[in-house]
Amino acid sequence: MKSALRAHLAGSEWTFRADVAARQRLSEWISRLPVTGRVPVAVADARWLETHPAQNPVLAPDHRVVVPSRPASVTVVTSDGYLCAVPHAPGYEARAYVAACKPPSSAGRVDRVWMAQPDGHVQSFGIASWNAQAQGEPAPGAWIWAPAQGAAWSDEFSQSLIGFLATQGPSGEDTTASAHARQVAAPTGPATPLRDPVITGNDWGGIGLLQTPTARMAKTGELSISFSRAYPYSRTNVTLQPLDWMELSYRYTSISGTRYGPQSLSGDQSGKDKSVDLKVRLRKESALLPAISVGARDIGGTGLFSGEYLVANKRAGNFDWSLGLGWGSLGSRGSLGNPLGLISSKFNTRSANSADVANAGGLGFNKFFRGRTSLFGGVQVQTAWDPLILKMEYDGNDYRYDSPFTVAQPKSPFNFGAVYRYSPSVDLTFGVQRGNVATLGVAFHLPLDRLSTPKISDPVLPRFVAERPATANWSTTAQDLSAQTGWRVSEIQKLGSVLQVEFEDADAVYWREMIERATAILHRDAPADVNEFRFIYMGRGMALANHTVNRERWAKPKSQPLPLSEVPTQNYRQAQPASTPTLAGTATPAGTPAPAVKPTANSASVFRSSDLPLSGDIGFGLKQSLGGPDGFILYQVSVEGRSEWRLSQHSWLSGSLNFRALDNYNKFRFTADSQLPRVRTFVREYLTTSRVTMPNLQLTHAGQLSSNQYFSIYGGYLESMYAGVGGEWLYRPFAGPVALGVDINSVRQRNFDQKLGLRDYRALTGHATAYIETGWNDVIAKVSVGQYLAKDKGVTLDLSRRFSNGVVFGAFATKTNVSAAQFGEGSFDKGIYFSIPLSAMFTRSTPDVGVFTWDPLVRDGGAKLNRAYPLYDMTKVRDPRALAMEPPAGP
């Protein structure tokens, strides 16, 4: 492997843009470097390595140990093919060594370096003022690859080169192997450590200064919840970073001195405004050019604070400068004409921002980038004291057009503030804005894509033993498999050298973790002639997927130390199970992937579960309503008992009872008006009529038409508001990127007490849905076309980003054939959501997922039936990324 790496580096195919002479010098030097067996050791502690054999290198009889002489220098390799040995000086970072080297024919300054420490660990970081990052000091013997900006060495080549140099051991001795090596003086002058750039939010929740946005973005996967107060506004913001170039924020703004509505309805509650912001980065910052982003504020609310902007940022060490051009509220000072007026005169005028509740929720494209504009911008300064960040900005909003409410005339367009970073996850902001308003803010930010919790409450795995048992108690094996995975074992069968385990209704977020646990149990119990474990997953009697583990491959790194290059990274594979149709619910799947294993004299069913269990559990439920006239937060905490009776392999009766234990819905008096059938806006009546309700009671039958086609039929009380009958068909190829489904339902509205009675309203509703794994940034698209509960017809688009630890950020929108006026406030249905696997938060593994959805308004248009058992969720083990989901390896 290392020999191939050297051959690749020494060849002529690195990059055709790099200087020919430089390529020749590097090629000659690399060709003289030896291929070593050196590998990095994570921790140089004998006891730690003993308990982590996968990280413990092994010496074979033909290996030799070479103890290098103690190095005293750091070797810098420049992009023009020269090497220089710089005497090591404590306290200096890579930038100082590159500066001390002073290559004779540099193609430009060095902005980024790649460094291999003497222990083999590799790092890369920026060292210029615009991209500086915190970094450790090079140790004596470190290698530093320092390609000059503009020298045309690709990042891929740089990573390969430093990876190969890491196998060479400490630098110094081999420097003379190049005819272009030289010795230089040690670094001198002040040794000032570099720091990572600090990204902070503004009063609106997005990344910015105080009132103004910047072109910066948070880290991908970050969730931020923030609160700010700048009279008369109090803002509660939630910001998601689903992609590295996209920021999505939503908020509630409370306006002091105003009333939500009549005192008889909303009491003393202040006025509230809901809004959504979107920011997209157009380009990243480079050595010469700034980062540039474009965005829009308040695109999904009343338009009270609507505005658009184009903003650029350039960093210079501890200073991060921003300059933008704002429209709408961001440019209401009107100091400039609209440059887009050169394209069309339509851009020169814009209606004044005002609270238009009747038409709230429209995107307002007819306002975008229209009217006069204003410059805005400022600077963020990292002080010498790391937790303190200072901010100053020029605000393009003069607040005259903020709202029809009274806002104190600002005395100054300049705002000043300070951010105290109390912890890596908590920021406190203090400032003075408009020359006469004191401001406060607090922000909590969490990298959800890195969320993980050690599973200290999971059952302890059996101790690994190399010897294979002669006999096994398969009933105990089945019990232990269930204890380790939470899955019900329906059958264990020995087919020659294959031990096959069939699980019924298995569910997980991190499938690989569960497979590892199941494999440990089978290895403990399986006889010596078993070489392969096959796990078959059945969902309500439907064959969904197979996972296969090679026993020897799995056990080898656990039974003997292996060189790291020989440690298998994937011990299991997934496959499409063979199956037969289950229309009547009696046929059984073959359960084996091609090529099928034929029964032999040693084939036997060693365990079979014949019970069809009655199961149940009790849990807690939480419902909440935000921003309503009766109170900003209405909540309901309930205790819900759920049960299921398996009538057959494919049929079951399920139900639930809900007890409303704690709530403040006694305040809920508002009944929204509607020009459509009241299919969802009776929410107050359904939540407050009865303390004990029956949200669900239904009979369901599921089956399989072919290896890729599934169906279900169901009837009963399908959800809290509707009863009826329905069916669903799903085509989902195994590990395929596209699935197609169709559901049809005939429903009738339930009585408000959610018991057995029914109301008169009836509807036929259903959708054809395409589920698409786009292959782009882990984005999943769901597109549904059909008829909704109010008998309106339209399309729902749902886009979500799924991270490798199972966290999902998403947004949806529905547009039907009813007009915005008929739909009412909101114009069309839309929302934002994120979901977190509870396994990432709890100390015990669980397949459950917590979902938070922000749907700003409950309206009747675009309303779907909340079905209990969608086939796409029931077949999720067929997902092409099922085995890719895993907790983060570390911080």
CATH number at residue 167: 3.10.560.10
Q: Does residue 20 sit in the same domain as residue 82?
A: yes
Q: Is the pLDDT of residue 798 over 50?
A: yes
Q: Is the pLDDT of residue 688 over 60?
A: yes
371-385 pLDDT, tens digit per residue, is: 999 999 999 999 999
pLDDT of residue 740: 98
Q: Does residue 164 sit in the same domain as residue 230?
A: no
CA distance 36 to 39: 9
pLDDT of residue 561: 64
How far is residue 565 from each of residues 36, 118, 160, 193, 364, measured CA to CA in Å?
13, 20, 16, 36, 58
147-185 pLDDT, tens digit per residue, is: 988 787 888 889 989 998 998 888 876 554 556 788 888
Q: Let me know: does 103 contact 125? Beta carbons within 8 Å.
A: no
pLDDT of residue 178: 58
CA distance 309 to 293: 8
Least confident of 331-340, 619-628, 816-825, 861-870: 619-628
- Whether 781 maps to a domain, the answer reads yes
Q: Let me know: does 233 contact 408? Beta carbons within 8 Å.
A: no
Residue 569, classified by CB atoms within 10 Å of its CB into exposed (0-12), middle (13-18) or buried (19+), is exposed
Q: Let me know: does 440 contact 229? Beta carbons within 8 Å.
A: yes
- Whether 231 maps to a domain, the answer reads yes
545-561 pLDDT, tens digit per residue, is: 999 999 988 988 877 76
Q: What is the CATH number of the domain that holds 584?
A: 3.30.300
At residue 588, what are phi and psi to the nearest 5 degrees? Answer: -110, 145
805-823 pLDDT, tens digit per residue, is: 999 999 999 999 998 888 8
pLDDT of residue 867: 97
Q: Does residue 840 sit in the same domain as residue 734?
A: yes
pLDDT of residue 48: 73
Is the sign of the CA dihedral 361, 363, 369, 374 positive or negative?
Answer: positive
The contacts of residue 811 (CB under 8 Å, 6+ apart) are: 248, 798, 799, 800, 830, 831, 832, 833
Q: Does residue 747 sit in the same domain as residue 841?
A: yes
How far is residue 820 from each of residues 422, 465, 817, 826, measured CA to CA in Å?
46, 68, 9, 8
The confidence band for 220, taking pLDDT boundaries of 50, 70 and 90, is very high
The confidence band for 345, taking pLDDT boundaries of 50, 70 and 90, is confident
Sheet order of strands, 532-539 included? 572-575, 542-550, 532-539, 498-504, 488-495, 604-608
Q: Does residue 286 sit in the same domain as residue 399?
A: yes
Q: Tell me which residue of 697, 701, 702, 721 sits closest to 642, measured CA to CA.
A: 697
Q: Which amino acid is located at 886 in the chain?
A: E
Tokens of 401: 């057009």
Tokens of 741: 């489904």
- Whether 637 maps to a domain, the answer reads no
pLDDT of residue 353: 58
Indicate the number of domains in the chain.
4
pLDDT of residue 206: 96
Least confident of 89-103, 251-265, 324-338, 701-715: 251-265
The contacts of residue 534 (CB under 8 Å, 6+ apart) are: 498, 499, 500, 501, 546, 547, 548, 549, 592
pLDDT of residue 69: 76
Beta strands, E only, 448-504: 488-495, 498-504
Q: Does residue 377 sit in the same domain as residue 513?
A: no
H or E element at residue 597: none
CA distance 782 to 778: 13
Q: Does residue 709 sit in the same domain as residue 848?
A: yes
Q: What is the CATH number of the domain that holds 229?
A: 2.40.160.40
- Averaged over 631-637, what is the pLDDT? 85
Average pLDDT along the chain = 87
Q: Which domain holds residue 500?
A: 474-594
Q: Let me know: does 568 contact 460? Beta carbons within 8 Å.
A: no
Q: What percent of the chain has pLDDT over 90?
A: 58
Q: Is the pLDDT of residue 584 over 50?
A: no
Residues in a beta bridge with 731: 709, 740
pLDDT of residue 562: 63
Q: Does residue 416 sit in the same domain as residue 512?
A: no
Q: Let me know: does 206 contact 222? Beta carbons within 8 Å.
A: no
Q: Is the pLDDT of residue 586 over 70?
A: no
- Whether 744 maps to a domain, the answer reads yes
CA distance 60 to 64: 8
Q: Is the pLDDT of residue 592 over 50?
A: no
442-465 pLDDT, tens digit per residue, is: 999 999 999 999 889 999 999 888
Q: Does residue 424 sit in the same domain as residue 489?
A: no
Residues in a beta bridge with 114: 124, 145
Instruction: Say which residue, 108 or 853, is predicted with more confidence.
Output: 853
- Whether 459 maps to a domain, the answer reads no
- Averaged over 208-228, what is the pLDDT? 97
pLDDT of residue 106: 47
pLDDT of residue 103: 56
Looking up tokens 């030799």, which residue turns up?
A: 64
- Whether 625 maps to a domain, the answer reads no
Tokens of 227: 């609160």
Q: Does residue 398 sit in the same domain as residue 482?
A: no
- Averaged over 877-884, what is the pLDDT? 92
Q: Does residue 578 sit in the same domain as residue 708?
A: no
Q: Which amino acid is located at 541 in the chain?
A: G
- Averaged over 230-258, what is the pLDDT? 92
Q: Does residue 144 sit in the same domain as residue 234?
A: no
Is the sign of the CA dihedral 180, 186, 188, 192 positive or negative?
Answer: positive
- Whether 488 maps to a domain, the answer reads yes
Q: Is the pLDDT of residue 779 over 60?
A: yes
- Averaged over 593-617, what is the pLDDT? 64
The confidence band for 581, taking pLDDT boundaries of 50, 70 and 90, is low
CA distance 636 to 664: 7
Cis peptide before 232 (omega within 30 of 0): yes
The confidence band for 304, taking pLDDT boundaries of 50, 70 and 90, is confident
Q: Let me know: does 138 contact 94? Beta carbons within 8 Å.
A: yes
pTM, entire model: 0.88
Looking up tokens 């056990």, which residue turns up?
A: 555
How does strand 498-504 pair with strand 532-539? Answer: parallel
pLDDT of residue 788: 97
Last residue of a domain, one of 594, 620, 640: 594
Q: Is the pLDDT of residue 331 over 60?
A: yes
- Averaged over 748-770, what is the pLDDT? 97
- Whether 657 maps to a domain, the answer reads no
- Averaged over 519-531, what is the pLDDT? 93
Could you write out the DSSP letters of every residue in 179-240? TTEEE-PPP-S--PPP-PPP--B-TTSSBBSSSSB-S--PPTTEEEEEEEEETTEEEEEEEE
Residue 344, classified by CB atoms within 10 Å of its CB into exposed (0-12), middle (13-18) or buried (19+), is exposed
Q: Let me know: does 209 contact 220? Beta carbons within 8 Å.
A: no
Q: Is the pLDDT of residue 794 over 70?
A: yes
CA distance 787 to 338: 43
Last residue of a domain, one of 535, 559, 594: 594
Q: Half-sphere exposure of residue 889, counting CA atoms within 13 Å on the CB side?
A: 1
